[in-house]
Amino acid sequence: MRILTEIPDDDVQKLDALAAKSKRSRAAAIREAVKLYLIQNGDDRSWIDKGFGLWADRDDIPDGVEYQRAMREDRRPYEDI
């Protein structure tokens, strides 16, 4: 889909400089900018699904609850306060 929009000249010059620096076209830079904008401001939570359970089968990461209990062993119980 093509979209017609007006962009200030100084922004176009900055965009062209960034695109040239990374050896991309202006259109490619704009597409990437739109994609990043949508990711940052959208409601796409697919990254949660991608990361869910990522550490489930790892043996080098201890259980979170056990870690918390070990860290709190040296504290006084609330009943003693």
Using the predicted structure, report yes or no on whether residue 73 has a pLDDT greater than 80: yes
Task: Give the model confidence (pLDDT) of 10-32 as tens digits.
Answer: 999 999 999 999 999 999 999 99
Q: What residue ranges do the domains of the chain occupy? A: 9-74
Helix residue ranges, H only, 22-63: 26-41, 46-51
Q: What is the pLDDT of residue 15?
A: 95
CA 42 to chain centre: 12
